Amino acid sequence: QVQLVESGGGSVQSGGSLTLSCEVSGLTFSQHCMGWFRQAPGKEREWVARINIDGRGTAYYAPSLQARFTASRDNAKNTSYLRMHNVKPEDTAIYYCAARAGWCSPSPMNFWGQGTQVTVAS
């Protein structure tokens, strides 16, 4: 059974930092593209970042977030991370991690976590 479990969400002040984690089990982690997505209240889910399986963990970001967010993976720990810096109230959302077999692409992800809430206070 594939499981993706996010953690690290919570409340943070505007301008602060937060790191989310996603622990994965039930699949070969190193052979799966990992992705981070978010859904703000009343809005559609949007892509945040993807981390490839190239051994270097090459990451791709939504252009508007690239300057403040850093995505990474630790294949030894079957865990992906999303580090958020200089957070803003508009970053308030439920953050989801997801996995897709093989190299990263815009194709839909295969597996999803349950999400973790991030709330940024102004």
Q: What CA–CA distance (Å, rounded) separates 64 from 71?
A: 14
Q: What CA–CA distance (Å, rounded) separates 41 from 94?
A: 8
Give residue 91's identity as a one-letter amino acid code: D
Q: What CA–CA distance (Å, rounded) separates 28 from 44?
A: 29
pLDDT tens across the length of the chain (122 residues): 999 999 999 999 999 999 999 999 999 999 999 999 999 999 999 999 999 998 888 999 999 999 999 999 999 999 999 999 999 999 999 999 999 999 999 999 999 999 999 999 98
